[in-house]
Amino acid sequence: MSANYEPNIVAFLCNWCSYAGADLAGTSRVHYPANIQVIRVMCSGRVNPLYVMNALQQGADGVLISGCHPGDCHYMEGNFYARRRMGMLKDLMEFVGVDPKRFHMSWVSASEGHKWKEVVEKTVEDAREAGPFEGFRRRQIDW
């Protein structure tokens, strides 16, 4: 692992809570690492577990999914689905040998700009410890 390795994090944020919380972090000028790139979805329940695998395969070193607090979902129960799916995915990832530190799930509400900063810092720090991810690279096939 090179000393100046910077992990590349892809984050999926629900529109109503976490994305708004990340916006609030911006409005409040809370600073956090630039390693994180956000993809906005309407609900954390939209995130197909395969997106996580896909992100790791495409070159992400860590993935974060963040939604509304349990019970506060704008769509009533989408974050419960997300929680189940991602819990299962996490077990599966451990089983196939992916460091679970690469994968985080959090609940950040629209008013939790500071919590968003903490979540990002933790995610980046864990991904940094886990090192560059090479596990799912597509094999070069010579014909």
Partner 1 sequence: MTEKPKVGVYVCHCGINISATVDVETVADYALKLPNVEVARTYSYMCSDPGQVLIKNDIKEHGLNRVIVASCSPRMHEPTFRKAIQEAGLNPYYLEMANIREQCSWVHEDMEEATAKSKKLVAAAVAKVRLLEALESKEVDAEPAALVIGAGIAGIQAALDIADAGFKVFLVEKTPSVGGRMAQLDKTFPTLDCSACILTPKMVDCASHPNIELLSYSEVEEIGGYIGNFDVKVRKKARYVDFDKCTGCGDCAAECRVKDRFPSEFDQGMGKRSAIYLPFPQAVPAKYTIDPESCLYLTKGKCGKNPKCQEVCKAEAINFDQEDEIVEFKVGAVIVATGFDPFDASRKPEYGYADYPNVITGMEMERLVSASGPTGGKVTVFNGEEEIEPKEIAFIKCVGSRDASVGNEYCSRVCCMYVAKQAHLIRDKIPDANIRVYYIDVRAFGKGFEEFYDRVRRENVRYIRGNPSEIFKRGNKLVVKVEDTLTATPLEDEVDLVVLGVGLEPRADMREIMDLLRLSQSPDKFFLEAHPKLRPVDTATEGVFLAGCCQGPKDIPDTVAQAKGAASSAMIPLARGKVMISAQVAEVNEATCRGCGFCVNICPYTAVELVTINRFGHEVEVARVNEALCKGCGSCSAGCLSDSIQPKSFRDYQILPQIAALGVLK
Residues that bind partner 1 (CB under 8 A): 8, 10, 15-17, 19-20, 22-23, 25-27, 29-34, 37-43, 45-49, 51, 54-55, 57-60, 68, 71-78, 81-82, 85, 109-112, 117
Tokens of 30: 């809370």
Which of residues 18 and 143 has its CB atom nearest to partner 1 in the complex? 18
Closer residue to partner 1 (CB): 98 or 143: 98
Q: How far is the CB of 118 from partner 1 (least distance, A)?
A: 13
Q: How far is the CB of 130 from partner 1 (least distance, A)?
A: 16
Residues 6+ apart with CB under 8 A from 122: 104
Count each helix (H run) and each strand (E run) in the chain, helices first: 4, 4
Rg (CA), the chain: 15
Q: Provide the angle, in degrees to the nearest 10, between the axes of the packed helices 78-95 and 49-58.
A: 50
Please report how close the Cβ of residue 22 comes to partner 1 at its closest, in angstroms: 5
